[in-house]
Amino acid sequence: MDLYKSYPMYLVLDILKYILDSIYIPMKYKISLSRINRSVFRFISEKYVNSLTIEELDIRFIQMVDQSHLKNQQCLLKTVKKLIIQPAFLERIGIDVVEELEKLSVNTHVLYMKYHHPSRRFPIRLSRLHQPNLRHLVLDYVIEIPSFSKDVTSETFPPIEYLEVSIHSATEITPLLNLLDILQPTLKKFKLTVNFREQVEQLKSYLINYKCDQMEVFNISNGHGQPGIYSNLILSQVHSLIWLPPIYTKSKLILNLLKENNVLTSLDIYIYDQQDLETLFYLSNQKPNLKQLNLTLMANFQVNDLQVFKYIECLTIDCHYEMLLNMLLAYTNPKLHKCPFRQLSICIGQQLIAPLIVFIESEQSLLLKYLDLSILDSNVLHYDKLSVALSKHPTLTSLSVYFSELIDNYSIFDNLGASTSLDYITIAYNHSVKSTYYFTQTHPKPPFMQVSQNHRTYLFIRNGIHYQSESILDSIVNKLKFF
């Protein structure tokens, strides 16, 4: 079959993008698609193979990258859009290394500076002249260097929109504040990890007044990944944040922010009392932009059976089974708002099998594409019935199952081969589960075939992955026919 006489190239590239963007398809297979023709080779090279990691600041290595990869017609790496510099040591960096790094980074959008120790030596000069396309900067240390001095202006510094920083001592505060001053006109997202406790008042006083109600992400945390003493800083961005980090003991603070914010798209919250849960239902149903919710309920609350989320498309919920049972049954009520779930992540046991089946079989679940199940009980009946319900679901594309322990019934996989929509099955299990036991008991049946393994996580894809060129073409054609 001559694929390119049957379909226009723009359509082929759209299907390729669908495959290349998939988190399930192995990278080896994605790269193999570059053999199709020169147009596809250039497309994959520009859009997907553009990351470089440098672990040794040696001129010979950098020149080898240039000659053997960037200038090699047969190599996919042609442009470095993501550059990761993580040398073990930053000593004796010659001007030749600095100049070569500047050449490499001229098209870089994302730059990581990862160090194993603080140093005043800096391997690259940051300027709009050298990195005009740089938008995302990640720093392990904020070093006192000319690039962050007050002499540098926002007109000469790269137009950074996203800054991620870790600082490890109070001596880094002043250069960090200088950098934030420089980035005021362009910065939209800021993540800061403060790995010390002393002399932070200057930092807090500065951040509470920094670009008020202009930042989309403003995540300030301590060395344990928690906002801690910095949690109140988010109130300076109450109207602009689109994402919030989890703040374990500050549910009322988050709910107050949610009340005032109309642009938030993702929320991670821990609920400790009945009133806060009811407030969350009410507020989230007034916020059509809020699409993703990670919800942890710290107690078993008595909630009205008719409470549902009207706009949440991706829900991860950790709660007592009675709460989840009521929620699933509420969504099967045809008089209520249509269920918007595209992705649902829940823990299930014996008590939830029946209501989950009812939900899966109802018209309210017709938008569901991704289902993540954590199986907690060792003795559970009716997995075979759940397997049948999943196999008949018309839109379910991906199923992920996590086993916390050995169980007696693995029939959840028995009927999945009959599904016309399911393409991916991911199986993960606790470290206590023997891998040999896993293979003899939980292996999904054909047409699903294992394509990858990462520690105790196994990925199965319908019909597997084949690397012959004709199979690649057939795969694309099948995707075209599907769409």
Q: How far apart are CA 158 and CA 166, in angstroms?
A: 20
**Identity of the residue numbered 262:** N
* Crossing angle for the helix pair 9-20 and 38-47, to the nearest 10 degrees: 40
Residue 429's DSSP bridge partners are 403
Per-residue model confidence (pLDDT) at position 1: 44
Q: What is the pLDDT along the chain (483 residues), one digit of tens a residue?
A: 455 556 777 887 888 888 899 888 888 888 888 888 888 899 999 989 999 998 888 888 888 888 888 888 889 999 999 999 887 665 567 778 888 888 889 999 999 987 655 555 567 788 898 999 999 999 987 765 555 556 788 889 999 999 999 988 888 898 899 999 999 999 999 999 998 888 889 999 999 999 999 999 999 988 776 677 788 888 899 999 999 877 776 788 899 999 999 999 999 999 998 899 989 999 999 999 999 999 999 888 776 556 789 899 999 999 888 888 888 888 887 776 677 899 999 998 878 888 899 999 988 888 899 999 998 776 666 788 999 999 999 999 999 999 877 666 678 899 999 999 999 999 988 766 655 555 555 678 889 999 888 878 889 999 888 766 545 555 555 655 554
Q: How far apart are CA 389 and CA 415, in angstroms?
A: 9
- Decide: 234 and 208 in contact? Cβ < 8 Å: no
Q: How far apart are CA 446 and CA 256, in angstroms?
A: 51
Q: How far apart are CA 481 and CA 483, in angstroms?
A: 5
- Decide: 342 and 368 in contact? Cβ < 8 Å: yes
Q: How far apart are CA 359 and CA 355, in angstroms?
A: 6
Q: How far apart are CA 175 and CA 186, in angstroms?
A: 18
Residue of 192, 187, 268, 202 whose CA lies nearest to 227: 192
- Provide the residue ranges of all domains of the chain, joining segments of one domain with +: 1-48, 313-482
Residues 6+ apart with CB under 8 A from 5: none
Phi-psi region of 206 (alpha: psi -120 to 50; beta: other; left: phi over 0): alpha
Tokens 């047409």 correspond to 447
CA triple 304-306-312, angle to 5 deg: 110
Q: Please spell the DSSP secondary structure of 11-28, one letter per residue.
A: HHHHHHHHHHT-SSS-HH
Per-residue model confidence (pLDDT) at position 303: 63
Per-residue model confidence (pLDDT) at position 154: 86
Per-residue model confidence (pLDDT) at position 456: 82
Per-residue model confidence (pLDDT) at position 8: 79
Tokens 């909630």 correspond to 303
Tokens 């016309």 correspond to 420
Cα Rg for the chain, rounded, in angstroms? 26
Q: What is the pTM of this model?
A: 0.88
Per-residue model confidence (pLDDT) at position 119: 54
- Decide: 152 and 126 in contact? Cβ < 8 Å: no
